[in-house]
């Protein structure tokens, strides 16, 4: 008689468990290799750490070193109300906070943000946090400060879609609460509700959005605020040439730079559209592909990356930047190290910031 091989259910379950454990072990092995790269790092010597601390203090600077802001509480409160008010869009569907969500580190985590008519904008919405520390505003640098920037989206038909400055002025002049608030902030003026005063108030509010991170605590003298891995990551970040553009308290925002010094950016980012950057504003051939260098503060939380939100993963963004801007093929250890450091730039909500973003 021919023998029939039978596999009983219990055998199947046992084989499944063995297979699952094997696959999990392989996956864990890969993760362990990545973690080991970071956890096995030898601590910096006291001399090395002191040198790193000195260099970082010179290149970047702590949030605590910012000068005291003398803006009145009334002005800040007015700016805050305007920032969160949907009446600053034509159909009253969005506010500044719609694209720059303060509970999401100042962004909406979308490649392109929907405006008042739900049409998508053409560039990624950058974070409102630390924006006042930049030397210019917008990806093409066309606004000199946050006050000028605040007026841009309001009048943009794809964003807030307010048809004219007078349209918004007349709308807010019909609101009793705004009548009282503007009169208090701008006393002695016959008609304080003007477009210029609206943007000044929003800018005054945004200038308060500079919360500290663990990196700032380290720069302020708390040597335990950063881990060994993060300190080594800072060293890698500096030695890899990232500080050529990403320096200052904001870790960027201080200059325009060509995106793609060592190649065409869209070949690596897989961008669906080629954006000419500053060129669209000036029509100067030398301005093609120039964009404002973004701040790296909160970068781990403000994905997707680049002017068109074309890259979702921070590791990929770091790798692309190394290739396009420095002509370097960063290895996995270098990428991991830099990313570990960049995560230390994520803000920590202090009581002042909690108050500023609460509604």
Q: Which of 47, 73, 77, 159 is catalytic?
A: 159
Q: How far apart are the first and last CA of the chain?
A: 82
Beta carbons of 309 and 201 less than 8 angstroms apart: no
Query: Is the bond leading into 7 cis (omega within 30 degrees of zero)?
Result: no
Least Cα distance to 232 among 334, 82, 83 occurs for 334
Helices 195-206 and 73-83, axial angle in degrees (round to 10):
100
Beta carbons of 254 and 103 less than 8 angstroms apart: no
Tokens 């030398």 found at: 286
Beta carbons of 226 and 214 less than 8 angstroms apart: yes
Beta carbons of 296 and 246 less than 8 angstroms apart: yes
Residue 159 a catalytic site member: yes
Q: Which residues are catalytic, by number?
A: 159
């Amino acid at each position: 008689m021919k023998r029939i091989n039978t596999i009983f259910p219990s055998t199947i379950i046992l084989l499944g468990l063995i297979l699952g454990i094997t696959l999990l072990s392989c996956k864990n092995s890969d993760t362990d290799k990545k973690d080991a790269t970071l956890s096995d790092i030898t601590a910096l010597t006291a001399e090395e750490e002191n040198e790193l601390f000195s260099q970082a203090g010179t290149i970047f600077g702590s949030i605590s070193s910012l000068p005291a802001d003398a803006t009145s509480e009334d002005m800040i409160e007015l700016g805050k109300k305007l920032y969160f008010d949907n009446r600053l869009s034509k159909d009253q569907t969005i506010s500044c906070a719609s694209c720059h969500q303060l509970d999401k580190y100042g962004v909406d985590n979308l490649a392109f943000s929907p405006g008042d008519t739900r049409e998508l904008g053409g560039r990624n919405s950058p974070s409102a946090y630390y924006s006042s520390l930049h030397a210019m505003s917008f990806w093409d640098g066309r606004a000199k400060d946050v006050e000028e920037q605040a007026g841009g989206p309001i009048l943009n038909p794809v964003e807030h879609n307010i048809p004219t400055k007078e349209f918004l002025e007349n709308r807010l002049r019909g609101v009793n609460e705004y009548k009282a608030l503007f009169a208090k902030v701008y006393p002695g003026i016959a008609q304080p509700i003007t477009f210029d005063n609206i943007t000044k108030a929003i800018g005054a509010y945004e200038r308060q959005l500079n919360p500290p991170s663990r990196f700032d605590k380290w720069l302020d003298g708390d040597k335990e605020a950063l881990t060994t891995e993060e300190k080594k990551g800072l060293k890698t970040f500096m030695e890899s040439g990232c500080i050529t553009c990403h320096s200052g308290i904001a870790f960027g925002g201080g200059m325009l730079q060509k995106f793609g010094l060592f190649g065409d950016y869209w070949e690596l980012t897989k961008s669906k559209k080629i954006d000419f950057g500053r060129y669209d504003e000036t029509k100067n051939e030398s301005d093609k592909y120039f964009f404002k260098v973004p701040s790296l503060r909160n970068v781990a939380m403000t994905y997707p990356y680049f002017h068109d939100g074309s890259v979702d993963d921070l590791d990929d963004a770091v790798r692309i930047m190394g290739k396009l801007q420095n002509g370097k093929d960063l290895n996995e250890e270098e990428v991991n190290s830099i990313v570990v450091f960049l995560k230390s730039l994520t803000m920590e909500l202090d009581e002042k910031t909690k108050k500023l973003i609460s509604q």
